[in-house]
Structure 1
Amino acid sequence: MSRDRRRRTFAIAAAAVGATLLLAAGGVAAVTNATEQSPEPAPSSQVERATAEIERGDLSLTATLDGSIGFGAAEPVSVKAKGTITWLPAPGTDLARGATALRVDDRAIPVLIGTTALYRPLTSWGMTGADVSMVAANLMELGYLRRADPADARTNSAFRAAVRSWQKALGLERTGDLAPTDVVVLTAESRIAKVTARLGDTATGTPFTASTTARIVQAAVPAGDAGLVGAGAAAEIELPDGRMLEGTIRDVGTAGDGAQSQVRATVEIADQKAVAEVDAGAVVVRVVTKTVTDVLIAPVPALIALAEGGYALQDESGRLHAVTIGLIADGRVEVAGDGITAGMTVVTAR
């Protein structure tokens, strides 16, 4: 290769590296062409060229999200009991199935778990419906009623006997009846987030808020990745202490209005024991947004953007090989072209 051509080639390579790195940050597979006005490097009598080998493998583009770990948004808990609050749980208390949510007139108001509220008093024999099934399912889980299909439940002798046994265990009057004022129904086991009521207040209302018992991550999704991060995607979570955990994107949605709106992702943490002592903190979430498999991969600095258009790689002999480029990620680029093979040595800018 002539000295003039060599000088022109390395000037073009310098321009290509800058353009390609800029585009890699946005996940865009295109590079601005080098121009004749690119500054030329100072001539050197001894030029030591760096080289790299073309690899065959998989290449993945990863979105990096800034997030925080915690228990998620808290929701108010509705209590229908009538009377005066005589005991309240402390923030951080878990409300499991059968636990006492609060005491009203010194009477325990227990927790039931279900997706249907208890919307009527269960005081008659032979009653059926979604609320009866919900109560029956809870009595089965608590061990007071023989397991069967809750959908077939009715307020028969076995059902009422189970209610009486449960009432006895709670220190309540054994009536066998159950009303909406007697229980708090939650959709899942929860954790007290904030107590807003005080002892002596009227019980009916929303005396506290509760959140999930499982720690989750809520992360902001960069605008450029908003259409690439979706529910069900695997995620890697870096904790404040540097540990790495596996997670899954549960949902992605928009928070806020207008110019203040932001796309946010909720990430479930697979190993809850690993975060048992982490109440809150900043984390980094990494999500693979695109992957190509079994492709030829070159370092980004090996790309040469030709003045006449297109891209090339230079082998050790100085010959240029035209290539098309695909996915760019982590300083590497997917390439294809005649004569480009795995193990081939190419010149790189660094």
Structure 2
Amino acid sequence: MARRDDAPASGRRRGRRIAAVAAALTVLSGGAVGAVALSAHGRDQQPKEAGAPSAQTTTLARKDLSDSRTLTGTLGFGGQTTVKGTGKGLLTRLPKPDATVARGKPLYWVDDRPVMVFFGDTPVFRTLDTPGVSGRDVTVLAENLRALGYDTGPVAGAPPPRAAGSGHGAEPGAKLTPALLAALKRWQHDTGQEETGKLVPGQVVVVPGPYRVSGIKAQLGDPVAEEVLTVTSVRKSVQVKVDAQDAASIRKGDRVTIALPSTKSVPGKVTSVGQTVQGGDDSNASGAASEATLQVTVEPVDDAAVQDLSSASVQVTFTAEQRKHVLVVPVGALLALREGGYALQRPGGQLVGIKTGLFAKGMVEVSGAGLKEGDRVVTTS
């Protein structure tokens, strides 16, 4: 009887164990499913190896930075000057365009007599034949004969070398001596001129230096006392119109780069900066104010680099400012601070106050405590 009474209790205990085991299996089964789901979710949240960062960054670099601008210019033989004849007579022979105007050589002929070339800054304005007279025209005569290899003897009254920028008005000039007149006569003999031993206006034409004939204005048979021809420098130059405000940063002697039509670039230098402003008023046809400009002259360092070009449109690059081996970042990396100035932002969000230097070509020079080459910062470009 006792066994029969215990059987139901034992059955109930076994039922509870089975239910517990079933529940445990259910929990374990659900846990396994949940673990699989969490594992998959975790894998989805892992960063991808080649994924893009949430903010674009750039690296601080050290390089040379220069502020430059490129302007269009015209290459050609610049500095055209008109040569006028002196004295009486008719033109009987003229040079050809592109002929070189050389010291001691004939430039044109009057009444079939050659008119020779002297270099200088004062024309022969009187007859030089009497020892004792002095002046700048005597200095021109003496300097040219010496340059041509003639012994002129001591030049009495010759001024000391001129200081740069000094005026000519106070210079008395050299004194005409018998030795100088004798040298003049020898030169006349050697060049096939009449050996007079004196120099009269019209026998020589004085120009500042070596030139080339750019054009003929007179005709054979015209009186010599008129405009005879035009000359230009033997060196090619580039004429560039520069905004009058920008021209303030350009100096004589500055180095430039000249891009030729062939895309070849050659070095050049600034030889002059104009002082006369052109334009800047409303006198043009449209009634609008024209741009105020100054003319800047540039010459190639090596004239042979442009020997095949007589005239051409070129691009001239002027470098106004330059920094060597400085830290730079793209301008888009700058953050304007509310209190003024700029900062850079590191990828972690930290702001670093900086000082800016030269801005050029989308880059900016930066400096600040703790900044070094290779640092990464946030940028928008």
TM-score band by shorter chain is 0.7 to 0.9
Greater Rg, structure 1 or structure 2? 2
Instruction: Determine if the alignment matches structure 1 residue 188 to structure 2 residue 209.
Output: yes
Identity across matched positions, percent: 37
CA contact (8 A) 1:65 1:222 kept: no
Deviations 1:170-223 (A, max 9, x none): 322111110122110001111112211000100112211111111111112135
Give the residue type in structure 2 aligned to 1:86: T
Q: Is the deviation greater in 301-310 or in 82-91?
A: 301-310
Instruction: Determine if the alignment matches structure 1 residue 110 to structure 2 residue 116.
Output: yes
Which residue does the alignment assign to 1:340?
371
Which residue does the alignment assign to 1:279?
310
Q: For residues 203 and 62 of structure 2, what CA distance do their matches in structure 1 show?
A: 66
CA contact (8 A) 1:63 1:225 kept: no
* Residues 221 and 69 of structure 1: CA distance in aligned 2, closer, same or farther (over 3 Å): same
Give structure 1 stretches of 5+ with no counterpart.
Answer: 1-44
1:136 is paired with a residue of what secondary structure? helix
Instruction: Determine if the alignment matches structure 1 residue 198 to structure 2 residue 219.
Output: yes
Task: Describe how 1:19-58 pairs up with structure 2 within 5 A.
Answer: 47=53, 49-58=55-64
Q: Is the deviation greater in 269-278 or in 217-226?
A: 217-226
- How far the C-alpha of 1:84 sits from its partner, in A, is 0.5
Which residue does the alignment assign to 2:179?
158
Instruction: Determine if the alignment matches structure 1 residue 236 to structure 2 residue 226.
Output: no
CA contact (8 A) 1:59 1:293 kept: yes
Q: For residues 222 and 279 of structure 1, what CA distance do their matches in structure 2 show?
A: 26
Which residue does the alignment assign to 1:171?
192
Which residue does the alignment assign to 2:270?
249
Give the residue type in structure 1 aligned to 2:194: E
Deviations 1:276-335 (A, max 9, x none): 222111111112212344542112232234677643323233433233322210221012
Of structures 1 and 2, the one scoring higher in RCO (CA 8 A, sep 6+) is 1
* Residues 149 and 162 of structure 1: CA distance in aligned 2, closer, same or farther (over 3 Å): closer
Q: For residues 52 and 182 of structure 2, what CA distance do their matches in structure 1 show?
A: 95
Which residue does the alignment assign to 2:234?
213
Give the residue type in structure 1 aligned to 2:184: V
Which residue does the alignment assign to 1:297?
328
2:106 counterpart (100, 108, 118): 100
CA contact (8 A) 1:108 1:170 kept: no
Task: Describe how 1:319-338 pairs up with structure 2 within 5 A.
Answer: 319-338=350-369
- How far the C-alpha of 1:116 sits from its partner, in A, is 1.9
CA contact (8 A) 1:196 1:208 kept: yes
Which residue does the alignment assign to 2:9?
none
Give the residue type in structure 1 aligned to 2:376: T
Q: For residues 59 and 222 of structure 1, what CA distance do their matches in structure 2 show?
A: 23
Q: For residues 331 and 121 of structure 2, what CA distance do their matches in structure 1 show?
A: 53
Q: For residues 244 and 125 of structure 2, what CA distance do their matches in structure 1 show?
A: 44
- How far the C-alpha of 1:91 sits from its partner, in A, is 1.8
Give the residue type in structure 2 aligned to 1:116: T
- How far the C-alpha of 1:268 sits from its partner, in A, is 2.5
CA contact (8 A) 2:156 2:177 kept: no
RMSD over aligned Cα, in angstroms?
2.5
Give the residue type in structure 2 aligned to 1:102: Y
1:197 is paired with a residue of what secondary structure? coil
* Residues 290 and 319 of structure 1: CA distance in aligned 2, closer, same or farther (over 3 Å): same
- How far the C-alpha of 1:137 sits from its partner, in A, is 0.9
Give structure 2 stretches of 5+ with no counterpart.
Answer: 1-50, 159-173, 282-289
